[in-house]
């Protein structure tokens, strides 16, 4: 597939997906969704990939849905678009692909993350942002709710009170405030951001991939389990990982006092 609205490359076990509509603040349209789906499917099937980084071209990360796109455009006097259908065909598959991806994911938020753009970032395992970046959920301003998994991720990250406040008021918050609230992992100086993301991606690409993804599953499952159920779930995951090649390598390296060489197996 030839990409026109994203940039995608795999180098040294790191996949980098860049939303590439800078003139539209990297807002989503149907064509971009199709390209992202194709790229994510490629990540899933390419076992040389050990980590995925998602970022945006230009001065923004992603401004959410492009309201001028034909699938959602409101034309007075004509039938209203079925936004639920758009969610089912585009946004739900997007975040489900990220959630089920066999490698850890990093959202490198390099500017404004608005609406579904903020939701996309929150669907990643680690979210980092430049200090000049910001987050805003403007859904209520046009009579909608936070979608693309945002109403699931946000309360778990920052609590019900703050999540409701951001969703109902549409207040923009800085990357630093997002980090202070636990909405994202870290806010990084703009000048150091690219280097910092690169070093983090390299680090994750050399770690035991399967263990990182099972960590995602364990933490996401906690809220739907009783305490006893979750202890059993942890045991199931530990049983699986305890038979992995990376576990054997990790323990061997520890005992031999050398750096481990994980393969993701």
What are phi and psi for residue 108, nearest 5 degrees? Answer: -105, 90
CATH of the domain at 28: 3.90.226.10
Residue 137, in any domain of the structure: yes
Q: Tell whether 263 is covered by a domain.
A: no
Half-sphere CA count of 154, side-chain side, radius 13 A? 26
Are both 139 and 246 inside the same structural domain?
no
- The DSSP letter of residue 91 is I
Q: Which domain holds residue 236?
A: 209-255
Q: Which of 59, 56, 5 is nearest to 29 (CA)?
A: 5
Pick the last residue of a domain from 190, 205, 220.
205
pLDDT in tens, 161-183: 999 999 999 999 999 999 999 99
Q: Is residue 264 part of a domain?
A: no
C-alpha to C-alpha distances, 191 to 17, 56, 159, 185, nearest whole angstrom:
21, 16, 31, 18
Number of domains composing the chain: 2
Tell whether the torsion through CA atoms of 247, 248, 251 and 253 is positive or negative. negative
Going by C-alpha positions, the residue among 87, 124, 85, 133 that lies closest to residue 106 is 124
Which tokens hold the place of 80?
Answer: 């209203």
Judgement on whether residues 111 and 192 belong to the same structural domain of the protein? yes
Question: Do 136 and 221 share a structural domain?
Answer: no
pLDDT for 77: 87
> Does a structural domain hold residue 30?
yes
**CA 58, 61, 63, 66 torsion-angle sign:** positive
Q: What is the pLDDT of residue 262?
A: 96
Q: Which residues of the chain have pLDDT under 50?
A: none
């Amino acid at each position: 597939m030839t990409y026109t609205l994203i940039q995608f490359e795999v180098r040294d076990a790191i996949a980098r997906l860049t939303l590439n509509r800078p003139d539209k603040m990297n807002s989503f349209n149907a064509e971009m969704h199709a390209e992202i789906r194709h790229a994510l499917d490629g990540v899933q099937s390419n076992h040389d990939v050990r980590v995925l980084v998602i970022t945006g071209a230009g001065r923004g990360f992603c401004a959410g849905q492009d309201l001028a796109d034909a699938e959602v455009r409101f034309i007075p006097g004509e039938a209203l678009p079925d936004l639920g259908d758009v969610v089912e065909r585009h946004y739900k598959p997007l975040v489900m692909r990220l959630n089920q991806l066999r490698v850890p994911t990093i959202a490198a938020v390099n500017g404004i993350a608005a609406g579904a753009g903020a939701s996309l970032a929150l669907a990643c395992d680690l979210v980092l942002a430049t200090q000049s970046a910001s987050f805003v959920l403007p859904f209520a301003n046009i009579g909608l709710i936070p979608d693309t998994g945002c109403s699931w991720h946000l309360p778990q990250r920052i609590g019900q009170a703050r999540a409701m406040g951001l969703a109902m008021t549409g207040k923009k918050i800085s990357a630093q405030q997002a980090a202070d609230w636990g909405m994202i992992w870290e806010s990084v100086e703009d000048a150091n951001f690219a280097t910092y993301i690169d070093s983090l991606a390299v680090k994750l690409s050399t770690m035991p991939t399967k263990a990182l993804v099972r960590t995602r599953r364990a933490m996401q499952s906690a809220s739907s389990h009783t305490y006893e159920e979750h202890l059993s779930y942890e045991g199931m995951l530990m049983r699986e990982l305890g038979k992995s090649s990376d576990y054997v390598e990790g323990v061997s390296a520890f005992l031999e006092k050398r750096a481990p060489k994980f393969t993701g197996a």
